[in-house]
Structure 1
Amino acid sequence: MELDVKTLDGDTAGSITVSEEIFGLDPRADLMHRVVRWQLAKRQAGTHKTKTRSEVTATGKKFVRQKGSGGARHGDRKAPQFRGGGKAFGPVVRDHAIDLPKKVRALGLKHALSAKVKASNIVVVDDAKSTDGKTKALRERLAKLGYANALIIDGAEIDNNFRLAARNIPNVDVLPVQGINVYDILRRETLVLTKAAVSALEERFK
């Protein structure tokens, strides 16, 4: 499969051959959905916590006699039905992560890349660099190319000036190739890959 290569100034810079097994699959929404669920569940903090009746601060004394009061039987005021009592079946600190095989994760990434190719929302550029590190200049360059909502994937190392220039542009994310993931690919309209990123992905899925 051939993909055109451009520069960030909009000029043509030749073409590149990519693997059909990575960029030419018939996208499966179910696989991508499983990977996105796995990602979001894994990053959920799970630090929510309420105090149970054994953890609240109150006296443990039985405050009303067992019989003869005309009311219900009670022990102490830590019971959930009383103000200041413990929470019944409240949330506890836990890990929300779910298991997903590595092969499914890798396949989900391939299908996400293929989905961008099929929708013609993938762009290959020769490199992603900025000479001055100015946000305004980079924003104008991306606006001319129509990359208002984009994920830019570079090689193993991101150009520092480009990273500084892009970090304050709304709806534009920049990641090294080792950080590429299904969720970020799908949440942005355009996927911009550098030639270094394409080579790294080809090597990764060999």
Structure 2
Amino acid sequence: MKVQVLNLDGSTGNGEVELSDDVFGLAPRADILHRVVTWQLEKRRGIARATRERSDVARTGKKFGNQKGGGTARHGDRAAPVFIGGGKAHGARRREFNPSLNKKVRALGLKMALSAKAQNGLIVVDTLDVTDAKTKTLAGQFANAGWGKKVLVIDGEAVNETFARAAGNLVGVNVLPALGANVYDILKHDTLVLTRAAVEKLEARFAAPAGVAE
């Protein structure tokens, strides 16, 4: 699949880039994308802390009063929920959100997300080099390009510092290195902008090792 290289302002750039069909040419499947996005969001959740119940409270278990004649209810345990410092009745239980997902499914989900954007919403630029780190200038370029309100820009090994500084205050524009590419961020943005270096990194990420069959 060949894609025309553009500039940051949307104008035609130099040459074309050949995208691998193994990475950018798959038919997206909603079930795979849903599994990967659910796994990502679950991984972000923290541990739900438990409350202390009767068995967790350090109170004496000795019967502290007579069965009769005390003029009060016949309690036998200070850890009962009715007492201050007692355990909570029917308290929250500890929950850990650490789901597992097969690496092959995760890789397939990322390739399908890239393929979905290749069908509608993928832009390839040569580099992210800008003359100065001015947010106003970059905002004008993006407005001329007409790439939508939510744009995800992915660079190569590391993000261009000048571009990242200029894009830092642009609402809806996010910048990631190729290593940080993920299904959730790709799908939630209107447009995916890749540099040539990002394309090379992503394709190398999914390349089969030498001597290993697909």
Q: Classify the TM-score, shorter chain.
A: 0.7 to 0.9
- Distance in 1 (CA, whole Å) between partners of 2:49 and 2:137 is 43
Gaps of 5+ in 2: 208-214
* CA-to-aligned-CA distance 1:154-197 (integer Å, 9 cap, x gap): 00111111111112211111000000000111111111111110
- Distance in 1 (CA, whole Å) between partners of 2:65 and 2:171 is 62
- Distance in 2 (CA, whole Å) between partners of 1:140 and 1:48 is 47
Q: How does 1:98-117 map to 2 (within 5 A)?
A: 98-117=99-118
Q: How does 1:157-168 map to 2 (within 5 A)?
A: 157-168=158-169
Q: Determine if the alignment matches structure 1 residue 23 to structure 2 residue 24.
A: yes
- The total of aligned residue pairs comes to 204
Residue in structure 1 matched with residue 80 of structure 2 by the alignment: 79
* CA-to-aligned-CA distance 1:32-62 (integer Å, 9 cap, x gap): 1111111111121215343333555767664
Flag the 1:165–1:77 CA change in 2: closer, same or farther, 3 A: farther
Flag the 1:132–1:56 CA change in 2: closer, same or farther, 3 A: farther
Q: Secondary structure at the match of 2:127?
A: coil
Q: How does 1:48-63 map to 2 (within 5 A)?
A: 48-55=49-56, 62=63
Contact 2:49–2:92 under 8 Å retained in 1: no
Contact 2:10–2:146 under 8 Å retained in 1: no
Residue in structure 1 matched with residue 173 of structure 2 by the alignment: 172
1:5 Cα deviation after fit = 1.0
1:124 Cα deviation after fit = 0.7
**Which AA in structure 2 matches 1:24?**
G
**Which AA in structure 2 matches 1:110?**
K
Q: Secondary structure at the match of 1:192?
A: strand
Q: Secondary structure at the match of 2:54?
A: coil
Contact 2:10–2:142 under 8 Å retained in 1: no
Contact 1:63–1:76 under 8 Å retained in 2: yes
Q: Secondary structure at the match of 2:175?
A: strand
Residue in structure 2 matched with residue 91 of structure 1 by the alignment: 93
C-alpha RMSD of the superposition: 2.5
Flag the 1:52–1:29 CA change in 2: closer, same or farther, 3 A: same
Q: Determine if the alignment matches structure 1 residue 12 to structure 2 residue 12.
A: yes
Contact 2:135–2:167 under 8 Å retained in 1: yes
Flag the 1:54–1:169 CA change in 2: closer, same or farther, 3 A: farther
Q: Secondary structure at the match of 1:15?
A: strand
* CA-to-aligned-CA distance 1:11-32 (integer Å, 9 cap, x gap): 2122111111111111001111
Q: Secondary structure at the match of 1:193?
A: strand
**Which AA in structure 2 matches 1:40?**
L
1:80 Cα deviation after fit = 3.1
TM-score normalised by L of structure 1: 0.86
**Which AA in structure 2 matches 1:90?**
A
Higher alpha-carbon deviation: 54-63 or 35-44:
54-63
Q: Determine if the alignment matches structure 1 residue 121 to structure 2 residue 101.
A: no
- Distance in 1 (CA, whole Å) between partners of 2:28 and 2:55 is 52
Q: How does 1:123-202 map to 2 (within 5 A)?
A: 123-147=123-147, 148-202=149-203
Flag the 1:29–1:61 CA change in 2: closer, same or farther, 3 A: same
- Distance in 2 (CA, whole Å) between partners of 1:177 and 1:69 is 74
